[in-house]
Amino acid sequence: MPKMKRRSFLKASAVTAAAASVPLKMSFADYKEAAEEEEGYKIPTTCNGCSSMCGVYVHVKNDRVWRVEGHPVHLKSRGRICARGHGMAADMYNKGRVQGPMKRNANDEFEPISWEQAYKEIGEKLTETIDEHGGNSFLWLEHGVRGQRYANPLLDKIGSSNYVTHYSTCFSSKTNAWAEMVGTTLNGDHENAKYMIFEGRNFAGAIIPHGMNQITKAKENGAKIVVIDPKHSEIAKIADDWIPIKPGTDLAFRLALAHVLITEEKYDKDFVNGYVENFAEFWRENKDKSPEWAEEITGIPAEKIREVAHDLAANAPEAFIEPGWHGLHCHYVNSTQTAQMGIVVNALLGNFYKRGGLMPSADPEFGTFEHDGWSEEEKGPRADGAGVAGEHYTVEASRGIAQTVPDMIEKGRIKAAFIYHFNPLRTAPDPEYQKKIKNADLVVSINIDWNETSVYTADYILPESYYLERTEVPQAVSGHISHDYPQISLRQQVTEPLHDTKPLREIMQGITTEMGMGELYDYSLDDEIEAMLEPTGVSAEELKEKGTVELQTNKVEASFPLCPAGSPNLATSTGKIEFSADKFRADGKAGIPTWIEPKVMPDPSADDEFRLIHGKQPYHSHHVTSNNPDLIKLTKKYNGTAMWMNTKKAQKLGINDGDIVTVSSDMTEKEIDVKVTELIHPDCVWISSAYGGFSDRLETAYNLGVNYNDFIPVMVEPYSGTTMSQEVIVKVAKGGVS
């Protein structure tokens, strides 16, 4: 076997390209034995298992990934990674990867083509589409983290405003509320907190390794952890108190907390007087939202609500309701108001910009890369109506409404779509409806594997190189957990690409060159890296060597942002935290959060009716990791595909643990096995968001478990455009589908 020194493969690509195929043809036992002898090398990069993008070191032997470990400096990992991080590295060798450019032929089958042919045909078709229908008929649809910098040059050049992310299927209700009321988002300072509420927030399920370290450290130091969730989630395992709330009623719980804090004068009056706008208006609107009122709605005893409010106040400002993420923030018709009330309760505790309360992210100051070849044409209104008066005016236009793409196509607003690093057929409700994305004149899927969106909708699949096979621009290490100093990290190539794949910038350059727009991407990645790093004082060489660097500038301070004259200086119209959102009022909606009933509720007299809720498991990143054979071993071990049902409700229906049941909504009916447990509220049943794959090219994920999105119609939450993915009632009957 060839001996490879660290990085030597990058200098000898011809040799390594040949060597790369050798280990794949060996048995694993032979490979392992041979590799034990190898010296190998390790390269720092970042994980791609979830949006935390933890820093990792990847050890390579014989040009094959040997093992992965957490980067000791990186804020999210601090030397540790989760199971998904290991699984994602192994997925480089997954048979489900697309191994070269593909074209759908007249028989509705995919055939391999060259990159040159793909660029030429796609370039010609896109040019034709733009000539005929205008640039605004083009849509870029992506997960939302990495592609925008390469989407923008094309969108700007052709005059398209249609950049859409997956966020409406995930957390837009939160970001919309925070943008309108605070002008930024803050993170819980878990490590220094004395009292933390995780409401619909499973920090140990959507795991951030070092975030969990901080939480457990706080607990060891005496902090109290309270989990409000219909399901006893993984974070509940370390909680002092689990309060199983009736799903869909968190808004009422938060309104009642505010009621206690205000009526008992336990709120921080100095903070409210100095930094809050519209307090009196809020109180006028919500004077009647007492704990007794909330008990009727939430099922939580009024005394328990009072106890939580008192504990929050007693520990403030080192106490908070965790700002949260996916859970609660795309689930209900009242998700935006629930997020608003999280802000209100935290503001009443006076915990903004306080240690142990809510703190800002420490963000690096990157330089801006500018390119002479870029230009911007006038753009039309967004096809999804986000931010458009008379349509979805209050939805953040920067994020869009991902679940309505088939509608945009049906209305003739979108004719061509590039779908990058995103699988809407698994992420958005009603997969059968999402399949209509295929009706666009041109659909190009730029994804790693044979995911459902590629298989069912794409005219062309252009496989991007795997995250361990490519280098990207520097990233800010930011969000969700508190830290004092900014960090920057770099995802960099660890091995040669296994297959005929390319990085995104190169793909875009190939297509646009055929469109006569070759100037758009006529620059190098090194140009971008250099420009971005310029103000940080970190050289590209240092970042490549270290992988993650902590800066000693821009230290986060525990002080409310003030302008030089001393008045509050948040990015809101008054500079203060605004309890009433201007944008919502401007659209004729309520600016002040108050009670809104969930859209649907199970009939209390019908024992077989439940709200269907879903969530993450610590060993999966929703569906993204569900084709990984190693992680699926964990699924099997923990019976992860089973649906959770409350014991008493199961008894009434004659259902026992392990039984097969039929679950049906207005959309579909499916068979699933049941886990009967006390650890879930009787009004709901729960399934994991990982399963129910229907691409037969992804062998491990195919037909494993049930997809929660099958049960949900496409809906648009009126304030933030989210999917309202838990506004669905299902019936459960013992036995399989008849």
Secondary structure, 3-state, 31-85: HHHHHHCCCCEEEEEECCCCCCCCEEEEEEECCEEEEEEECCCCCCCCCCCCHHH
581: tokens are 């959102």
Q: What is the CA radius of gyration of the chain?
A: 26
Nearer to ligand SF4, 47 or 724 (CB): 47
What proportions of the chain, in percent to the nearest 5, are helix, strand and coil?
35, 15, 45
Task: Tell me the window of 48-56, 317-325, 460-468, 676-684 that interacts with ligand SF4 (CB under 6 A).
Answer: 48-56
Q: Which of residues 284-323 bind ligand SF4 (CB under 6 A)?
A: none
The contacts of residue 669 (CB under 8 Å, 6+ apart) are 662, 663, 737
Nearer to ligand SF4, 340 or 548 (CB): 548
Q: How far is the CB of 101 from ligand SF4 (least distance, A)?
A: 28
Nearer to ligand SF4, 350 or 615 (CB): 615
Q: Which of residues 452-481 bind ligand SF4 (CB under 6 A)?
A: none
Nearer to ligand SF4, 76 or 502 (CB): 76
> How many CB atoms neighbour CB 677 within 10 A?
16
Q: How far is the CB of 31 from ligand SF4 (least distance, A)?
A: 24
Secondary structure, 3-state, 467-516: HHHCCCCCEEECCCCCCCCCEEECCCCCCCCCCCCECHHHHHHHHHHHCC
Q: How far is the CB of 322 from ligand SF4 (least distance, A)?
A: 17
Q: How far is the CB of 491 from ligand SF4 (least distance, A)?
A: 11
Q: Which of 4, 19, 43, 50 binds ligand SF4 (CB under 6 A)?
A: 50
> By the 8 A CB rule, do 418 and 130 touch?
no
Nearer to ligand SF4, 172 or 621 (CB): 621
**One character per residue 57-76, x = contact with ligand SF4 (rule: CB under 6 A):** -------------------x
435: three-class secondary structure by DSSP: helix
Task: Tell me the window of 204-212, 275-283, 324-332, 343-351 that interacts with ligand SF4 (CB under 6 A).
Answer: 204-212
Task: Tell me the window of 51-59, 225-233, 242-250, 276-284 that interacts with ligand SF4 (CB under 6 A).
Answer: 51-59
Q: How far is the CB of 617 from ligand SF4 (least distance, A)?
A: 12
Nearer to ligand SF4, 208 or 704 (CB): 208
Q: How far is the CB of 140 from ligand SF4 (least distance, A)?
A: 24
Nearer to ligand SF4, 208 or 402 (CB): 208
Q: How far is the CB of 218 from ligand SF4 (least distance, A)?
A: 19
Residue that the structure tokens 């504990």 belong to: 311
Q: How far is the CB of 53 from ligand SF4 (least distance, A)?
A: 5
Alpha-carbon span 379 to 703, nearest angstrom: 42
Q: How far is the CB of 300 from ligand SF4 (least distance, A)?
A: 31
List the one residue out of 623, 611, 645, 616 whose CA is nearest residue 725: 611
The reply to whether 49 sits near ligand SF4 by the rule CB under 6 A is yes
Q: How far is the CB of 548 from ligand SF4 (least distance, A)?
A: 13
Alpha-carbon span 159 to 38, nearest angstrom: 53
The reply to whether 212 sits near ligand SF4 by the rule CB under 6 A is no
The reply to whether 54 sits near ligand SF4 by the rule CB under 6 A is yes
- Report the first-to-last Cα separation within the chain, whole angstroms: 58
The reply to whether 489 sits near ligand SF4 by the rule CB under 6 A is no
The reply to whether 82 sits near ligand SF4 by the rule CB under 6 A is yes
Alpha-carbon span 223 to 211, nearest angstrom: 15
How many chain residues are in contact with ligand SF4, going by CB under 6 A? 15
The contacts of residue 244 (CB under 8 Å, 6+ apart) are 229, 230, 231, 232, 299, 680, 681
Q: How far is the CB of 163 from ligand SF4 (least distance, A)?
A: 24
Alpha-carbon span 424 to 60, nearest angstrom: 33
Q: How far is the CB of 97 from ligand SF4 (least distance, A)?
A: 18
What is the chain's length? 738
Task: Tell me the window of 58-66, 202-210, 281-289, 697-705 that interacts with ligand SF4 (CB under 6 A).
Answer: 202-210
Does residue 265 come out as left (phi exceeding 0), alpha (psi in the -120 to 50 range) or beta?
Answer: left
Q: Which helix (H) or strand (E) holds 144?
A: none
Task: Tell me the window of 203-211, 442-450, 549-557, 562-570 that interacts with ligand SF4 (CB under 6 A).
Answer: 203-211
Task: Tell me the window of 52-60, 244-252, 680-688, 729-737 that interacts with ligand SF4 (CB under 6 A).
Answer: 52-60
DSSP state of 705: S
The reply to whether 85 sits near ligand SF4 by the rule CB under 6 A is yes
Q: Which of 59, 71, 84, 174 binds ligand SF4 (CB under 6 A)?
A: 84
**What are the DSSP calls for 179-233, one per residue?**
HHHTSS--EE-GGG-SEEEEES--TTTTT-HHHHHHHHHHHHTT-EEEEE-SB--
The reply to whether 52 sits near ligand SF4 by the rule CB under 6 A is yes
Q: Which of residues 417-456 bind ligand SF4 (CB under 6 A)?
A: none
Alpha-carbon span 375 to 369, nearest angstrom: 14
Q: Do the bridges between strand 276-277 and strand 577-578 make them parallel or antiparallel, or are there none, so unpaired?
A: parallel
Nearer to ligand SF4, 83 or 312 (CB): 83
Alpha-carbon span 215 to 223, nearest angstrom: 9
The contacts of residue 275 (CB under 8 Å, 6+ apart) are 347, 352, 560, 568, 576, 577
Task: Tell me the window of 206-214, 545-553, 574-582, 662-670 that interacts with ligand SF4 (CB under 6 A).
Answer: 206-214
Nearer to ligand SF4, 49 or 244 (CB): 49
Q: Which residue minimizes CB distance to ligand SF4? A: 49
The contacts of residue 234 (CB under 8 Å, 6+ apart) are 202, 204, 205, 207, 618
> By the 8 A CB rule, do 475 and 53 touch?
yes
> How many CB atoms neighbour CB 34 within 10 A?
15
Task: Tell me the window of 44-52, 181-189, 568-576, 689-697 that interacts with ligand SF4 (CB under 6 A).
Answer: 44-52
**C-alpha pair distances (Å), 620 with each of 207, 231, 625:** 10, 18, 6
Q: How far is the CB of 86 from ligand SF4 (least distance, A)?
A: 8
Task: Tell me the window of 50-58, 92-100, 182-190, 667-675 that interacts with ligand SF4 (CB under 6 A).
Answer: 50-58
Task: Tell me the window of 45-53, 190-198, 222-230, 464-472 that interacts with ligand SF4 (CB under 6 A).
Answer: 45-53
Alpha-carbon span 69 to 64, nearest angstrom: 15
Q: Which of 208, 236, 260, 401 binds ligand SF4 (CB under 6 A)?
A: 208
DSSP state of 450: -
Q: How far is the CB of 80 from ligand SF4 (least distance, A)?
A: 8
Nearer to ligand SF4, 583 or 616 (CB): 616
Count H helices and E strands in the chain, helices first.
Answer: 24, 27
The contacts of residue 152 (CB under 8 Å, 6+ apart) are 163
Task: Tell me the window of 47-55, 228-236, 647-655, 675-683 that interacts with ligand SF4 (CB under 6 A).
Answer: 47-55
Q: How far is the CB of 55 from ligand SF4 (least distance, A)?
A: 9
> By the 8 A CB rule, do 238 and 251 touch?
no
List the one residue out of 472, 465, 470, 530 whose CA is nearest residue 499: 465
Alpha-carbon span 582 to 602, nearest angstrom: 34
Nearer to ligand SF4, 56 or 348 (CB): 56
Nearer to ligand SF4, 16 or 423 (CB): 423
Binding site for ligand SF4 (CB under 6 A): 47, 49-50, 52-54, 76-77, 81-82, 84-85, 207-209
